[in-house]
Structure 1
Amino acid sequence: MSEMRSVSPVGASRFERPYAPPSRAASKKTRTSNTSPTSPTSTTNMSASHYSKPSSASTMQSSHTTNTAPSSVDVDSHPPATPSHDKDVSILSSPACSFPPSDYDTDDWFARFRSDPDLSAARSDDCPDRATLAAVYDLPIYQADGTAQPFGSLYDPAYALHQRQLVLFVRHFYCGACQAYLQALSQAITKEDYFGIPVPTSIFVIGCGKPDLIPQYKKFTGCPFPIFADPSRALFKKLGMAVSMNIGSKRPEYMADISAPSWLYGQATTIRKSLKDPEGIRKRDIVRGGNPMQIGGEFLFDEGEVVWCHRMRNYRNHAEVAVLRKLLELDE
């Protein structure tokens, strides 16, 4: 594993606040790292004039945040800053974060995977082109409190804290298979692993249920990564993720100890327990978790473009955790 970084990634975990870009009065845009988690950074609000969003997102505003040390703040309580039309944004530099050299080449990076017989599952599906990414840029994604922001704010180099972003699209918020996947991923990519990723990478999760169910989903999964909702499923559709009734014949590694009957029974048990919990879901929430036939996938962005993606073929077809660890260069 590479040398640990002290930089705080955007919404890296439940232990810290997300990054907000500094004032536009700062110097022209540069690709550098954020300050150490213990160094406060003053920020200013940025307007949402860059994009046109539906009325449900019309009240969106960027947050005025201060980075604090890990283990101090829940990431969901401080939404990322909203981009504006003026993209002259700079990020304070820090020698603690080591970026790839200037001659870094994505094709060279992926060449290693093409020759790896153990990574056949890492072969990329057709990646969304620039026209598709432009079409989805302004689509709103929602945080637990209903605050909206454009999907493009996650991966646009002008606003993203890190060079790369891994975006995981999960199924409905009661899917036991996706819950098992996020549980396995959270255990396999610890906070120490996260800060040790050689090329700084933010990890985000997007589901298709109602945004106010996100806190319960965090309880179900224990997922430390920022979670958003796309209840309209517009992102899922435009990025090529399909609907399916195929449960899948092969049990994935992240469900090695969970048979199909146990998985389905577990979903029902989880819902019943949450209904009995005073702080759990309500009966009306049972039908608000998202379309049960929608399947998701995983997309790796690098400098604003998708360089690798995997779209699920059935309900239990997320890219294996081992594949993601190798893509992130956590494993040789």
Structure 2
Amino acid sequence: MAKVLPITQQITRENRENEKPPVNIRLEDVEDCFIYDRRGVASPFKKLYQDRKSIIIFVRNFLCYTCKEYVEDLSKIPREALEDAGIRLVVIGQSTHHHIESFCSLTGYPYEIYVDPERCIYKKLGMKREEIFTDSASPSPHVKSGVLVGHMKSMWRAMTSRAFDFQGDPHQQGGSLIVGPGSEVYFAHFDMNRLDHMPINWLLQLAGVQQTLDFSDKPKIIIV
């Protein structure tokens, strides 16, 4: 049986036919960068993917309304779907660890979450700062709020939080990886802008999760 080679290309949602050149992701460059849990305990990045395949999502900042709504949809993934496929799901932000607890409470996210407050991993992997928008970009299936309402919600959260800050660099973009076990990279996507998250079902399918989920907020019609 022929060996299936890992996918290590940057794929955008705008036009999958015009694939970009391969992204050179070297996990060796970031494996010893420290990430911090909700208690502020540090551990090396490599601990997330050494023993199993992992989907790792890097978000812009915890105050970003698009990241909030994306992570809300991540929280809907059934635990058994991940366990059956042997997949670890991890979210990484770039605020201080003090904001993790409130972000999880806000989004209902039940899986692993860490922060990279110095943006060590973001920088070394080459994730973008600032935003690039194109006319052909598809709307994110995970962002339900419009720009104005979304910004108002983000500002309100900033004003009512204990520390009035952006909970991360507001110019930093995120991305997603499918890696491990070991240092093998199967997939990489770096967001071009705040709406350029990889659709969750695509990530799950690429990682080997069999279940397809419905993230639509439209009412479900039940035929009886």
> Shorter-normalised TM-score: what interval?
0.7 to 0.9
After superposition, residues 1-332 of structure 1 pair within 5 angstroms as 105-107=3-5, 120=16, 126-129=22-25, 132-156=26-50, 160=51, 162=52, 164-187=53-76, 189-197=77-85, 200-246=86-132, 250=137, 251-255=139-143, 257-272=144-159, 275=160, 281-282=161-162, 285-287=163-165, 289-304=167-182, 305-329=184-208, 330-331=210-211
Cα separation, partners in 2 of 1:218 and 1:231, compared to 1, 3 Å: same
| Separation in structure 2 between the aligned mates of residue 288 and residue 179 of structure 1, nearest angstrom | 13
Unaligned stretches of 5+ residues in structure 1: 1-102, 276-280
Alignment check: 8 A CA contact 1:246 1:315 kept: no
Compute the displacement of 1:315 (Å): 1.3
DSSP-derived class of the 2:35 partner:
strand
Could you tell me the TM-score, scaled by structure 2's length? 0.80
Amino acid at match of 1:267: S
Q: Deviations over 1:147-170 (max 9, x none)?
A: 1011112122xxx2x2x1111100
Task: Tell me the secondary structure at the aligned position of residue 253 of structure 1.
Answer: coil
Q: SS at the partner of 1:269? A: helix
1:223 aligns to what SS in structure 2?
Answer: coil
- Identity, % of aligned pairs? 26
Native 8 Å contact 1:171 1:294 kept in 2 = yes
TM-score (norm 1): 0.55
The answer to whether the Cα contact below 8 Å between 2:131 and 2:173 also exists between their aligned partners in 1 is no
Task: Name which of structure 1's ranges 177-186 and 285-294 shifts more when overlaid on structure 2.
Answer: 285-294
Contact 1:173–1:209 (CA under 8 A) maintained in structure 2: yes
RMSD: 2.6
* Alpha-carbon distance between aligned partners in 2 of 1:193 and 1:124, rounded to the nearest angstrom: 31
> 1:89 maps to what in 2?
none
Per-residue CA deviations over 1:129-157 (Å, capped at 9, x if unaligned) read 4xx3222111100111111011112122x
2:191 alignment partner AA: M
User: After superposition, what is the alpha-carbon deviation per residue over 1:295-331, rounded to whole angstroms, capped at 9, x for unaligned?
Assistant: 0100000332111110000111110122113213325
* Corresponding residue SS for 1:195: helix
Highest RCO, 1 vs 2 (Cα 8 Å, sep ≥ 6): 2
Shift of 1:288: 5.8
Runs of 5+ unmatched residues, structure 2: 213-224
**What CA deviation, in whole Å up to 9, does each residue of 1:53-88 have, x standing for no partner?**
xxxxxxxxxxxxxxxxxxxxxxxxxxxxxxxxxxxx
Q: Which structure has the greater CA radius of gyration?
A: 1
1:127 & 1:105 partners in 2: Cα distance? Answer: 21
